[in-house]
Structure 1
């Protein structure tokens, strides 16, 4: 496999992951993802922003989130984010000390 084909396949896999998290499973909360996997949608949007910045593209944290979420983050939160349970909050604390 050549580099261009590999990059195209990796990009397609990323787009499918993004679609899955935003369209197929918006019910899965970021805190639960963090507790189980160590990353969430916000991490993915930050990695996107960092990759853009590394290539000389000026992109803020909020810009990266809007590109990733397809809407302003505040809008996503209002539509999909629920209050984290005390158990989820405690698990997050333990994993991020």
Structure 2
């Protein structure tokens, strides 16, 4: 396995994260409920993780701010442009697979 410096590892992880976020922005046809049902996380989860990382570093960030970073626009704007109503099947799958906290 290639040995990476801590700086390289962080840079590569950051690049992969940015690519994931850009991919999700381009794939607005993929609904959050679909991501949750298939992968157990969604754009909102990413925004929560981002906010938690900021707060761990001592930087206060609102839910709205972290969502805008992930969605590339205010969350309500994204919802009005791209979010569709979940089908009964999607809702059932979500309840069956929902993470238990």
- What is the TM-score of this pair, normalised by structure 2? 0.91
| Equivalent in 2, 7, 17 of residue 5 of structure 2 | 2
Q: How does 1:10-21 map onto structure 2 within 5 Å? A: 10-21=13-24
Using the alignment, how far apart are the partners of 2:18 and 2:84 within structure 1? 25
Using the alignment, how far apart are the partners of 2:35 and 2:70 within structure 1? 16
Q: How does 1:82-97 map onto structure 2 within 5 Å? A: 82-96=84-98
Moved over 2 A (4+): none
Matched positions, count: 96
Aligned partner of 1:31 in structure 2 is: 33
- What is the TM-score of this pair, normalised by structure 1? 0.95
Using the alignment, how far apart are the partners of 2:6 and 2:77 within structure 1? 37
Aligned partner of 1:72 in structure 2 is: 74
Unaligned runs of at least 5 residues, structure 1: none
